[in-house]
Amino acid sequence: MEIAFTKLQGNGNDFILIDEHSGEVIPEEMKGGFAAIYCDRRFGIGADGVLFLQASEEADVRMRLLQPDESEAAMCGNGIRCLAKYAYDAGYVKESCSVETGAGIIPVTMGYVEDEFTATITMPTPAFERSAIPAVGDGEYKEEIQNFTVYAANTGVPHAVVFVKEIGAVDITAVGPVIRNHPTFVEGANVNFVEEAGDGSLRIRTFERGVEGETESCGTGATASAAVAHHLGKAGETVRVETRGGPLVIRFGETVTMEGPAETVFVGVIPF
């Protein structure tokens, strides 16, 4: 038996996509283990997660994301762009579609400009909370952890946002896990270290829950960081967020949107 897969990346945040639109390919009880094996960059294909594209009764398509630690993430900004590109190229959706996720139904608009694919995602409304516990007081949640002021925001998944003078000076592999696993975050959190660029834009680096390491980019993290910056008056309604893998544009209005690219890297088959 062979399993077809497609490798995609959004700003360097890379995924293995398994097409289950016509039916189950990987049995439910094996999905987590499959992600653990094939996300490995030495003994597998290598990826930050496995996207399962499925049919949906509530939206045009459904996205599920299994991570290298076998956990399932409710939402992924870069992942949803990659899934949307695959679905668009496969003819499952048109320029506008909806994607069912664990964080709700997500509207997407997309298309090609000079052979480059770009998608705009209407993100879950940022909530300034540490998990499912609502914010109190003036509508923001922050705490001092390891001598850092840590803000909390949920953009479909929980995030910690930490403003620093220079992101290059932060030992993310040392500090990231401490904040990610801090008891204040009931479900754990992705940790974003944010540097203000001086022109209203932000530079970020992200330690991701589930990957348990730094990734090249995190779409929900970029949105959470921009949302906290906007909330604190550090950024305007349009925020360019520079990740290690490239820029994302976050816009605040009646809704919050994230715009960025996605690219098919290669296709292949797995003996299974």
Q: Are 209 and 189 in contact (CB under 8 A)?
A: yes
Closest alpha carbon to 45 in 53, 34, 54: 34
Q: Check if 218 is active-site.
A: yes
Block residue for tokens 């497609």: 6
Helix axes 77-90, 219-231, angle to 10 degrees: 130
39 is annotated as an active-site residue: no
Q: Which residues, including other chains, have CB under 8 Å from residue 208's CB and lie 6 or more apart?
A: 48, 190, 214, 215, 218, 221
* Residues recorded for the chain: 272
Q: In whole angstroms, how far apart are CA 104 and each of 94, 107, 120, 177, 261?
A: 20, 10, 16, 28, 22
Q: Look up residue 225 and give its amino acid.
A: S
Q: What is the Cα–Cα distance from 240 to 263, expressed in whole angstroms? A: 20
What span, in angstroms and rounded, lies between the C-alpha atoms of 168 and 181?
22
State the maximum Cα–Cα separation within the chain, in Å, rounded to a whole number.
57
**What is the SS3 assignment for 265?**
strand
Query: Which of 39, 76, 82, 97 is an active site residue?
Result: 76
CA distance linking residue 162 with residue 141, whole number of Å:
12
Q: Phi first, then psi: what are they for 176, rounded to 5°?
A: -50, -50
> Could you say which of 39, 82, 97, 218 is catalytic?
218
Residues with catalytic annotation? Answer: 76, 218
